[in-house]
Amino acid sequence: MWKYRHYYILLLPALLFFVFFHYVPMAGVILAFKDFSYAKGIFGSEWVGLEHFRRLFGSASFYEVLGNTLIISFYRIAFVFVSPIIFALLLNELRNVRFKRFVQTISYLPHFISWVVLGGIIMELLSPTRGVVNYFIKLLGFEPIYFLSSNDHFRGVLIVSDIWQSVGWGSIIYLAAIAGINPDQYESASIDGATRWQMAFRITLPSILPTVVILFIFQLGGIMHAGFDQIFNLYNPSVYKVADIIDTYVYRIGLVNLDYDYTTAVGLFKNVVGFILVILANVVTGRIREGEYRLW
């Protein structure tokens, strides 16, 4: 450690960040088992055991929120997670370097815009009275669609806007993995008469599969996090039935209604489920090709 002390010093700020903002706050988890009182504080409040969890699992609204969270998360895995992989494969096939860089730059830009700003842009684009999308819908002779107030369309808006915001930035890791593939494999395949599509599916995709699996494990671990920032800036009471997720539910009950102990129980439940999913995913993928795809 002394030999590499300079590197450890550089690492120290990141370690301190995780200690103070991720590990120290874990002490607050005991609120899930207490009847919180402002006068007595976190550690002085009375213990109530599993009372908040009984309330949690006995609430009909919680199961609706849980269902929305899982459905939106599965949509994200099926579409948002896969999109950067496809985008990276397509970018890799571009031979014009300047055009490739232009496409990459344009695709990265939405990632650097906060969901507060993106939410406003999406609301204007989808506005039933002045939005560009509904303008073309009306030109085709159809009635305008209230995308952000419709239970049938809101989840679709979430997924499409999430792909737009994340596809470029998410492709960076896959492009880096593709750059590490030995070019001799492509030359050999070309000599054997393989087409570009055959090389993409027989060489490129299998070569980046370990990276895909590792990122999939991370994605699966966050399945209970369905995207608070995006949903909070786009949803409204008319779409709570399909859009209200655990994070927005915790925000309303905990911060708005000041029910801290109950929402701590909800958050603890969510994180325990995510932890179990990460462990299971790592065990299952670790059985593939003698642990080549295992995270740890």
Tokens of 290: 């003698």
From first CA to last CA, the distance across the chain in angstroms is 22
Measuring CA to CA, which residue among 237, 226, 221, 222 is closest to residue 282?
221
DSSP state of 46: E
Per-residue 3-state assignment (H helix, E strand, C coil) for 54-116: HHHHCCHHHHHHHHHHHHHHHHHHHHHCHHHHHHHHHHHCCCCHHHHHHHHHHHHHHHHCCHH
- Strand, coil or helix: what is 34? strand
For residue 20, the model assigns a pLDDT of: 94
For residue 280, the model assigns a pLDDT of: 87
For residue 278, the model assigns a pLDDT of: 86
For residue 205, the model assigns a pLDDT of: 92
For residue 34, the model assigns a pLDDT of: 93
Are 34 and 47 contacting, i.e. CB atoms less than 8 angstroms apart? yes
C-beta pairs of 209-215 under 8 Å, 24+ apart in sequence: 209/293, 210/292, 210/293, 211/173, 211/174, 211/177, 212/85, 212/174, 213/285, 213/288, 213/293, 214/293, 214/295, 215/81, 215/173
DSSP state of 181: S
- Strand, coil or helix: what is 244? coil
CA gap 3, 222 in Å, rounded = 37
For residue 293, the model assigns a pLDDT of: 66
For residue 254, the model assigns a pLDDT of: 86
Per-residue pLDDT of the chain (296 residues; tens, 9 = 90+): 889 999 999 999 999 999 999 899 888 899 999 999 888 888 889 999 999 999 999 988 889 999 999 999 999 999 999 999 999 999 988 888 899 999 999 999 999 999 999 999 999 999 998 899 999 999 999 999 999 999 999 999 999 999 999 999 999 999 999 999 999 999 999 998 998 889 999 999 999 998 998 888 888 888 888 889 999 999 999 999 999 999 999 998 888 888 899 999 998 998 899 889 888 888 887 777 665 667 67
CA gap 215, 207 in Å, rounded = 14
Q: Write the CB contacts of 144 (distance below 8 Å, at least 6 apart in sequence).
A: 128, 129, 134, 137, 138
For residue 239, the model assigns a pLDDT of: 93
Helix, strand, coil share of the chain (percent; to 5) = 75, 0, 25
41: left (phi over 0), alpha (psi -120 to 50) or beta: left
